[in-house]
Structure 1
Amino acid sequence: MEGDQLSLPLFPQNSNESENYFTRKRLWSASKHRIMLRYIQCFCYNLGGQKAYQSEHLNYVDGFAGVGKYTEGIGIEDFVNNSNFWSKYKHEFENTDGSPLIALKCAKLFRQENRVNLRCLFIESNRNFNRKLHEHCERLEEKLSYKIYNPQTFEVALPELMKDLQNYPTLFFLDSFAVKGMSFDNICEIGNYVSQYKGELFLLFHNIHVARNAGQYKTTYANSKEQQTAETYIKNLTKLLGVNSDIDWKPKWLELKSEPQKFERWALEYFKERMRKEGGFRGVTSFEIKETYNDVRPQYSIVVGSNHPEKAFGSFLNDFVCDEDKLLFFQDNYQGIEKFLDKEWEAEQKRRIAIIKTQSIQILREFKSEWKSFEDVITHIILKLNDLGCLKRTQYYNDILGSLYQEGMLEIEKPGSKKPYTLNSLLKIVE
């Protein structure tokens, strides 16, 4: 029962969890790292170069860098070796790489191509982690552009960091733990930078920890010590969700405290909406990172803010997330052999297509008599649904719009020479 989730402890079961975190990479961390690997490449190929809208220097910021490397790892080597793109390179990616080493190894490849200088900026407050991060980065034996800040929190380091960015386009990756480490004001400062100088912000929204912190709020407390402890967690959550957000989230928690997952979903949407309105981002979206395909509760959500959501979300990120989602349908059998769950995958795809097809009709009706290209309509539907990675762009083209055309619900202008329509063809819904 959802209500039973209230029994989840506020504090980690293992008090040494942060120390042990980098011992073994988990499936959900591997998924996160694959997405960031692909997005760093797209970011650098899109904005790095000599053209008017490009820059010879780009920044990658890892605000909670950790040690940079795991003792045991999964999910990177097979991915890059089976990739049509990465297999072209003599790369050094390893399963044990954390996000800092992934970024630095990308920077090395891009420098060899004479494409762009990717400047990597790492913040890690834990002194032991910070020292190990230095050691792992130095072992690359390359004169790469990177800086590891003295051990300090992200909030404390932010003023110095913003000066170091030098107005270059910047990809921010804030992989914080729980709800501590950054404030909504920090996010707004990053949003204002991105709106001026280009880039994106990726941040982890820890759904379960949001509910755990909110669960400390009560209308009455047994004693002053209990209240004082609770106020610390309430303050941290309010800092993350935005100034005066407690006016909104406190009554919502009291309403949904027996259904914490509903509160988590509400808090996520509330957070994204404030980012859109106050954060300086023209587009904000999110996607879930799960351990298995049928998880009802994600490990966490990744929230992304951009000033160019059409390309960042509708083009690049949507298909990356969809690919990761498909990987969840691989399972190991009792002999340790990986098997793809074809029936489950096909059933899930049919379910999504049926739902999104109905939603797409409503979205197309908003255009009324306006002609739009297939390319633009696909992007618009993806952004409008606010549910990244449900289907790949080719599925929107074939299974959604193609089906609507076959049913006589679309008018086509500028058909292809051999096909009734192409991505450049114009369409509008038949009223």
Structure 2
Amino acid sequence: MSKKQKDIQQSLFGDEREYFNRKRTWTATKHRIMLRYIQAFCYNLGGSQGFQSNYLNYVDGFAGEGKYDEGIGIENFIGKSDFWNRYKTDFLDSDGSPLIALKLAKIFELEKRVTLRCFFTEEDKERNQKLNINCSLIGEGLSYKIYDYQRFDKALVQIMNELENYPTLFFLDAFGVQGVTFEQICSIADYVSKNKGELFLLFHNRAVARNAGFYKTDYQDYKKQKTAETYTQHLTKLLGDNSDLDWKPRWLEYQQEEQKFEKWALKYFKDRLQKDSCFKGIASFEIKEEYNDTRPQYHIVVGSNHPQKALGVFLNDFVYQENELLFYQDDKSGKYHKFMSQEWERQNNERISTIKPQIIDILRSKNQDMTLEDAITFIILEIGNLGYLSRAKYREIFLKLYEEKIIEARELGARGKLTLKNFIRVVK
């Protein structure tokens, strides 16, 4: 990257050194979710049963240095978890996603559960060198590979050839809108559809809007036009071939309305992945810094081979739990960590009120008998906004709909109570 390109990138996204050296709240959220999801992925698919494998893969496509100079959000989380306290873990606040994956791999090895094979890429030469050092400190005896410093798209072909058809979890925490194209995402989807796994991809809302903002119907001079074309081409590659025919008119239409274009672009991206890729399910969730953040910088888009369990069960409630953590607030002294229960309950009630009519419409359009458990999963996947409510909250909505005789059930148990295994349908 030239000095001019670096200067432009820093003006668009802030000081990149600070981004990589100090873990932010939203990064800690991503790491906690990946910590839990890698564990769930390996516990579910790792083993000797027919649908399981003794080897699983984890691909971290933008690994960074592997750790941060300053970190938050891991040690306290681990310390308060009954599950994680069963292990003698050495997770640190400063751990990045590569070290989190390797430390999990070490746990799985000790349990003799599964071998987690880790693959890391990092384009920047200096960060790549530090990644090698940081991983070597804990990676002895583990199966991992760090590719020579190069763009992820250059390494992807080699990575694909070395995955050996094992189920694979891809984590692409790309910066801005560069680093991975729609075509490459589809090649990952093709692998996942054949061999099981998921893709977690960072969708940088604000960067999408910034890159679109370079587009004009006319330019003052040739130099500005060429600069604009560079940035708009990056966005087009991310959203898919010929997507500029769709996004450019939308940008001109929505640019005066805050957030409208980036919301449209996220939906467009998810819809196109659902239609054009081999993923069997697509969903996303917001990464917020504060509970009342009305414009989060990021979404994570997730593509899955088995969305019912991976997204509708595991990930939905992981994200919901992360949203709840946003409602803990330190007082001015920093000594007391208070849970804002009223604000949390208010948000849940508002979301229940908002989503209840949507659920009725979705069920009516489906018009099919299904168990209550499957209906909850179906609604989560149809809405596509993971963690919006927990499965327990969705169940409360369904029970209310049953009381209101909007849905009916059959084959109730001896007590006449609606359970997760009962079949339901909307009353005509």
Shorter-chain TM band: over 0.9
Matches within 5 A, 1:275-424: 275-336=273-334, 337-368=336-367, 370-397=368-395, 399-418=396-415, 420-424=417-421
Alignment of 1:70-89 (within 5 A): 70-89=68-87
Are 1:428 and 2:425 matched, yes or no? Answer: yes
Counterpart code for 1:270: Y
Q: What is the rounded CA distance, in whole Å, between the counterparts of 1:364 and 1:211 in structure 2?
A: 34
Correspondence for 2:145 among 144, 147, 151: 147
Deviations 1:299-358 (A, max 9, x none): 200000012111111101100111111111112221212221121111111111112222
| Separation of aligned partners in 2, 1:178 and 1:141 | 30
Aligned pairs (5 A) from 1:79-158? 79-140=77-138, 142-158=140-156
Paired residues of 1:211 and 1:260 also in contact (CA < 8 A): no
- Asked if 2 retains the 8 angstrom alpha-carbon contact of 1:28 and 1:299, the reply is no
Rate the CA distance shift 1:141–1:99 in 2: closer, same or farther, 3 A: closer
Distance in 2 between residues matched to 1:373 and 1:14, nearest whole Å: 49
1:89-138 Cα deviation digits (max 9, x unpaired): 11111111000000000000001111100000000010100000011011
What is the distance in 2 between the residues matched to 1:364 and 1:151?
50
Distance 1:220 1:22 in 2: 37
Change (3 A) 1:417 1:136: farther
Q: Structure 1 residue 181 and structure 2 residue 179: aligned?
A: yes
**Aligned-partner SS, 2:93:** coil
1:420 Cα deviation from its structure 2 partner = 0.7
Aligned-partner Cα distance in 2 for 1:87–1:418: 39
Residue 57 of structure 2 is matched in structure 1 by 59
Whether the aligned pair in 1 keeps the contact of 2:10 and 2:16 (CA below 8 Å) is no
Distance in 2 separating the partners of 1:26 and 1:210: 21
1:366 match: secondary structure: helix
Give the whole-Å Cα distance in 1 for the aligned partners of 2:270 and 2:73.
Answer: 29
Structure 2: give runs of 5+ residues left out of the alignment: 1-6
What's the counterpart of residue 6 of structure 1? none
Distance in 2 (CA, whole Å) between partners of 1:79 and 1:201 is 24
Counterpart residue type for residue 363 of structure 1:
I
Structure 1 counterpart of 2:312, one-letter code: G
- The aligned counterpart of 1:4 is none
Whole-Å separation in 2 of the counterparts to 1:71 and 1:262: 36
User: Does the residue aligned with 1:144 lie in a helix, a strand or coil?
Assistant: coil
**Structure 1 residue identity aligned to 2:299:** S
Letter in 2 for 1:327: L
Q: Distance in 2 between matches of 1:61 and 1:50?
A: 22
Is the Cα–Cα contact under 8 Å of residues 10 and 212 in structure 1 kept in the other structure? no
Q: If the length of structure 2 is used for normalisation, what is the TM-score?
A: 0.95
- Give the letter aligned to residue 345 of structure 2: E
Q: Give, as a single letter, the amino acid of the residue that structure 2 aligns with 1:168.
A: Y
The alignment partner of 1:21 has SS state of helix
Amino acid at match of 2:178: K
Q: CA distance change for structure 1 residues 238 and 15 in 2, over 3 Å: closer, same or farther?
A: closer
- Residues in 1 aligned to 2:13 and 2:152: alpha-carbon distance in whole angstroms: 22
2:259 equivalent in structure 1: 261
State the distance in 2 between where 1:364 and 1:95 align. 43
The Cα RMSD (Å) is: 1.6
Residue deviations 1:226-256, cap 9 Å, x none?
A: 1111111011111111111111111111111
What are structure 1's unaligned runs of at least 5 residues?
1-8
Amino acid at match of 2:219: Y
**1:12 Cα deviation from its structure 2 partner:** 2.8
Cross-structure match for 1:35: 33
Other-structure match for 1:5? none
- Distance (Å, rounded) in 1 between the aligned partners of 2:137 and 2:31: 20
Structure 1 303/356 Cα, relative in aligned 2: closer, same or farther at 3 Å?
A: same
Question: For 1:173-212, what aligned pairs fall within 5 Å after superposition?
Answer: 173-212=171-210
Gap change, CA 1:413 and 1:132, over 3 Å in 2: same
2:121–2:150: 8 Å Cα contact kept in structure 1? yes
**Structure 1 contact 195–280 (Cα < 8 Å) conserved:** yes
| Matched-pair contact (CA < 8 Å) for 1:10–1:209 | no
Judge which range, 112-121 or 404-413, deviates more: 404-413
Q: Are the equivalent residues in 1 in contact too, given 2:102–2:139 (CA < 8 A)?
A: no
Tell me, yes or no, if the aligned pair for 2:105 and 2:142 is still in contact at 8 Å. yes
Match of 2:3 in 1: none
Determine if contact 1:74/1:95 at 8 Å carries over to the other structure: yes
TM-score by length of 1: 0.95
